[in-house]
A and B are shown apart, each in its own frame.
Chain A
């Protein structure tokens, strides 16, 4: 559960769909078309007839900004130009900052000629939300940060008591009321649609009405239960340059079906140090320790399992990791750290039973890949769980060292890495 970025397409779709509930005069139609790698463009044009008649904007929609600076925005184009642009750029490898990734999704919308560029953003902190407004929007908003007006909205009292009108720049003139109403409505929309960040930069007035040009948004995915109607059809894409591998997707699906927590990120599939750590807090400390000892580059994954997963879930989780780590063979061997703190309520024996089943299944592959296993864990039924681990080691012919709460939590990290050259 966390704050997750959404596509500009979805952000504008939500805005077009639900802002009018708070602002009658908001007439933005939300003419938007999303193009993915599989999209049939002719079919898209038949369901979105304006594509063939309007002047168009085409831009990547993959949770990264500064698209104009990278020359990835096509402006004032017709449908044929748009198609050509898509053909040229779909699947292209681009570098955005430090991250390189493939372009896979594009947003098409009508081109709005404009001069005026305004800025509005809403973010949250513990005591409330902050609304930022500026008349100097667009790419130069950061350079002109002193022109930005900030309104604080208390989390309990809401926007009603906030004086917006008197603090808006005088230059807005007759648009001042429209902007005030827009800001108030936007905050209500933000608070009631599960947003945790929203930025429209810029927006402009077109034929007297407000039109969003570029939009960035994050949602609090814990709101899913309450927002299931408004969010219907919405997906949380992975950050740019990161696509989920089959295994990561599998664990993500498993995670979504259980009350327990199962997380897996593959950092380096050829890495020799694999971890299977219980607990969101402990897993970070294990990763810290591995990096402290200079093995950051060898660290193959980050992950954690917690919240008392059942035997079957730990079995699948373990099997996924064992499968990944035994695919390639490194002459220097590999290490698996099955770590964790002293559990409060997770049943160690039960979770380790699932781990052991997977270890037995991968006996041959573990031997072939020269895997050494290091275990440290405490908590309910840990004696039984550790006994299970010790006995499986002997049975499988795979070296396994097992430690309990009397041994410092991260002690197995230096034990495992000792002698393994970096």
Chain B
């Protein structure tokens, strides 16, 4: 920094204390549209994590380093002389004191609200003693147009462009209120060539730097031709400015307004939004301060409404005196719009990568196939109904939903010895977690175990549609050398019927409008069981066939939809879902029992090694 009156220029480098990703991006966006040679942020200080942060520089992405402590950041970047401190009110004091103790840090902006007055006074006095500057606490900060912004100052990039803050004007502005800073930028840009620098000192009683501190800097800075300030009732800060005016320390024209003129007509106990905004004496009222400003030669409007006109009047006077030269307006810069914002405003479109037609969580309540979850519950649709919505995208008749639930209950478990349960148990005993063990069991489901539902449905449907008689079908399959899917069981037989199949059939006979395909399958079973007693219609086959009967007869599905269900293999899902219940039971059972690693007994394995000659032969060949 060449001059003491300059807080920030186009080469200012800063640390941001606190992982404030929005503020960081806003600072970088501002740097970018100001055509700064490089970003104003040297590093982020984040006590909970070191590493990097990825941010946009225009449309490119850049990496900012992140340090855990101020000391480490300062060591790495001694050229950074500003710290934008987003620490909470609980740690604002310690972090600010630490920063001003660092030789290379010259300015600290304290954003936190609610910093105790004694802490603020100590920070401020310490900074003054060391020739450093604190902006805040309880402020958004400030900015130098075309050079550097503190955090969120001046808001969105659109606003920065509208208020022409990407290039310097000739007005130095200071206020207490951070919220009004942005409004003042707007007013000043509409009534003059715009802001050179603007600072909000914060609404607390003891700000780290006062309005006068900044006004005196503006007075010294030859690029600033006029000064504007916006004070507030309460405190005596404005009288320090007024004294400086009277003593001739401020020679540039000063536009001033003090807000809070309403306070005399309001009850004395009203506490305005800012902690310091309360007039304890007549002298601290807005009226008295405005009058004193007027007497001291400041340009004072009659109300806030006239503030802009007052700025214009002074600016035009300076222009006519040749003190301010007409500004050659540079081209307004552009910044790439944020994708999410542009999308929300309808400015851009982009083909989506995914389509989802099953559920929608983007609104206030999740939708299952368009139906609100609460309506699903109110209608007592049950698991069967939910499967209807999420798998078939249909509201099924109650008996259809009931059939699905029946299937789930029937296939839920079939003891520990079947392949799926066995594998799940082995995985659980090996110490795998629940989900891994469940997967182990589920991965066993296939053509020979539980996975024949779709195949059975497909083959029987095909045979029926081809108008094959049961005999033709059986012979046809035999000729092709294919076991009929859905027929045959390892241990169940005509004499030892499968109770589960009986339960399914009796439900269907009672509730379905028609069981045509089942009847056909039973004729097939008659033929196969005549050959061998265990070639019965098994549970997979029964489920697949009855589901086709259900879809054909319940009038909710079109022919094309039924074909699709079979083609895409929906129905194995019923077994996978139902059996998961049992598998989880077995896995938890083993965990509860504290079972040890399973090792298959060696005597149960026939070890039959190839002879040494076999191997030798093969290697030589």
Give me the interface of A with B, judged by CB distance under 8 Å: 1-3, 98-99, 124, 126-128, 154-156, 191, 194, 196, 220, 222-223, 225-226, 238-239, 241-242, 261, 263, 265, 267, 278-285, 287-292, 296, 299, 302, 304, 306-307, 340-345, 378-381, 383-384, 405, 408-410
Cβ A284 vs Cβ B116 within 8 A: no
Quick one: CB contact mask for B248-287 with A, threshold 8 Å, 1 for yes? Answer: 0000000000011110011111111111111000000010
Residue of A nearest to B206 (CB): A126
Residue of A nearest to B303 (CB): A292
Query: Min CB distance, B343 to chain A, in Å?
Result: 12
Query: Min CB distance, A128 to chain B, in Å?
Result: 8
- Known interface pairs A288-B303, A342-B186. Does A279 touch B180 (Cβ–Cβ under 8 Å)? yes
Question: B153 to chain A: which residues have CB within 8 Å?
Answer: 344
Cβ B261 vs Cβ A124 within 8 A: no
Which of B22, B114, B265, B278 meets A345, CB within 8 Å? B22
16 A–B contacts, CB within 8 A, in A order? A1-B204, A98-B268, A220-B118, A242-B267, A267-B266, A279-B273, A282-B177, A284-B233, A296-B262, A302-B266, A302-B272, A341-B179, A344-B140, A344-B152, A380-B155, A408-B308
Known: A124-B117, A381-B344. 10 other contacts (CB 8 A): A220-B118, A223-B116, A281-B274, A284-B233, A284-B259, A287-B266, A342-B155, A343-B179, A345-B155, A383-B345
Question: B271 to chain A: which residues have CB within 8 Å?
Answer: 2, 263, 265
Which of B113, B176, B182 meets A344, CB within 8 Å? B182
Q: How many A-B residue pairs have CB under 8 A?
A: 194
- The 6 A-B residue pairs with the shortest CB-CB distance in the complex, in nearest-first order: A280-B273, A281-B177, A279-B179, A341-B183, A281-B180, A291-B262
Cβ B177 vs Cβ A196 within 8 A: no
Quick one: CB contact mask for B140-154 with A, threshold 8 Å, 1 for yes? Answer: 100000000000111
- Known interface pairs A223-B116, A280-B272, A344-B153. Does A156 touch B126 (Cβ–Cβ under 8 Å)? yes
Residue of B nearest to A156 (CB): B125
Residue of A nearest to B257 (CB): A285
Give me the interface of B with A, judged by CB distance under 8 Å: 22-23, 89-90, 113-118, 121-122, 124-126, 129, 140, 152-156, 159, 162, 175-183, 185-187, 203-206, 230, 232-233, 259-262, 265-278, 286, 303-305, 308, 341, 344-345
**Which of A279, A282, A285, A408 is packed against the most chain B CB atoms within 10 Å?**
A285
Question: A155 to chain B: which residues have CB within 8 Å?
Answer: 118, 121-122, 125
Q: Once the chains are docked, how many angstroms separate the CA of A381 from the CA of B156?
A: 9
- Known interface pairs A281-B259, A408-B305. Does A225 touch B179 (Cβ–Cβ under 8 Å)? no
Query: Min CB distance, B378 to chain A, in Å?
Result: 23
Which of B116, B267, B268 meets A194, CB within 8 Å? B116
Cβ A284 vs Cβ B117 within 8 A: no
Cβ A1 vs Cβ B113 within 8 A: yes
Q: Once the chains are docked, how many angstroms separate the CA of A302 from the CA of B304?
A: 18
Question: B129 to chain A: which residues have CB within 8 Å?
Answer: 156
Cβ A222 vs Cβ B115 within 8 A: yes
Question: B206 to chain A: which residues have CB within 8 Å?
Answer: 126
Q: Once the chains are docked, how many angstroms separate the CA of A342 from the CA of B190?
A: 14
Query: Min CB distance, B211 to chain A, in Å?
Result: 13
Q: Once the chains are docked, how many angstroms separate the CA of A183 from the CA of B378?
A: 72
Which of A238, A290, A344 meets B262, CB within 8 Å? A290
Cβ A344 vs Cβ B154 within 8 A: yes
Query: Min CB distance, B79 to chain A, in Å?
Result: 27
Q: Once the chains are docked, how many angstroms separate the CA of A154 from the CA of B118?
A: 11
Cβ A379 vs Cβ B182 within 8 A: yes
Question: B179 to chain A: which residues have CB within 8 Å?
Answer: 278-282, 306, 340-341, 343-344
Residue of A nearest to B210 (CB): A126
Cβ A344 vs Cβ B260 within 8 A: no
Cβ A307 vs Cβ B154 within 8 A: no
Question: A238 to chain B: which residues have CB within 8 Å?
Answer: 269
Which of A239, A291, A342, A384 meets B159, CB within 8 Å? A342
Which of B162, B261, B341, B345 meets A405, CB within 8 Å? B162
Cβ A284 vs Cβ B275 within 8 A: no
Which of A1, A222, A285, A307 meets B259, CB within 8 Å? A285
- Known interface pairs A284-B232, A288-B259, A341-B182. Does A191 touch B118 (Cβ–Cβ under 8 Å)? yes
Which of B187, B204, B273 meets A306, CB within 8 Å? B273
Query: Min CB distance, B524 to chain A, in Å?
Result: 63
Residue of A nearest to B159 (CB): A342
Cβ A3 vs Cβ B205 within 8 A: yes
Which of A278, A281, A289, A306 meets B305, CB within 8 Å? A289
**Which of B178, B186, B273, B305 is packed against the most chain A CB atoms within 10 Å?**
B273
Q: Once the chains are docked, how many angstroms separate the CA of A380 from the CA of B22?
A: 12
Q: Once the chains are docked, how many angstroms separate the CA of A344 from the CA of B142?
A: 11
Cβ A302 vs Cβ B116 within 8 A: no
Residue of B nearest to A379 (CB): B155
Question: B203 to chain A: which residues have CB within 8 Å?
Answer: 280-281
- Known interface pairs A155-B125, A284-B259, A384-B345. Does A345 touch B183 (Cβ–Cβ under 8 Å)? no
Q: Once the chains are docked, how many angstroms separate the CA of A2 from the CA of B203?
A: 10
Question: A241 to chain B: which residues have CB within 8 Å?
Answer: 269
Which of A156, A261, A288, A299 meets B273, CB within 8 Å? A261
Which of A191, A285, A381 meets B180, CB within 8 Å? A285
Cβ A1 vs Cβ B304 within 8 A: no
Query: Min CB distance, A299 to chain B, in Å?
Result: 8
Cβ A289 vs Cβ B155 within 8 A: no
Question: B233 to chain A: which residues have CB within 8 Å?
Answer: 284
Q: Once the chains are docked, how many angstroms separate the CA of A127 from the CA of B123?
A: 11
Question: A383 to chain B: which residues have CB within 8 Å?
Answer: 345
Residue of B nearest to A195 (CB): B118
Question: B155 to chain A: which residues have CB within 8 Å?
Answer: 342-345, 378-380
Question: B113 to chain A: which residues have CB within 8 Å?
Answer: 1, 261, 307
Residue of B nearest to A378 (CB): B159
Question: B180 to chain A: which residues have CB within 8 Å?
Answer: 279, 281-282, 285, 341
Query: Min CB distance, B256 to chain A, in Å?
Result: 14
- Known interface pairs A261-B113, A410-B304. Does A127 touch B125 (Cβ–Cβ under 8 Å)? yes
Question: A307 to chain B: which residues have CB within 8 Å?
Answer: 113
Which of B125, B183, B344 meets A409, CB within 8 Å? B183
Cβ A279 vs Cβ B177 within 8 A: yes
Query: Min CB distance, A271 to chain B, in Å?
Result: 12
Cβ B89 vs Cβ A222 within 8 A: yes
Cβ A285 vs Cβ B266 within 8 A: no
Which of A126, A304, A378 meets B121, CB within 8 Å? A126
Q: Once the chains are docked, how many angstroms separate the CA of A381 from the CA of B337?
A: 13
Question: A409 to chain B: which residues have CB within 8 Å?
Answer: 183, 187, 304
Cβ A343 vs Cβ B182 within 8 A: yes
Q: Once the chains are docked, how many angstroms separate the CA of A408 from the CA of B303?
A: 13
Query: Min CB distance, A260 to chain B, in Å?
Result: 10
Query: Min CB distance, B621 to chain A, in Å?
Result: 76
Cβ A345 vs Cβ B23 within 8 A: yes
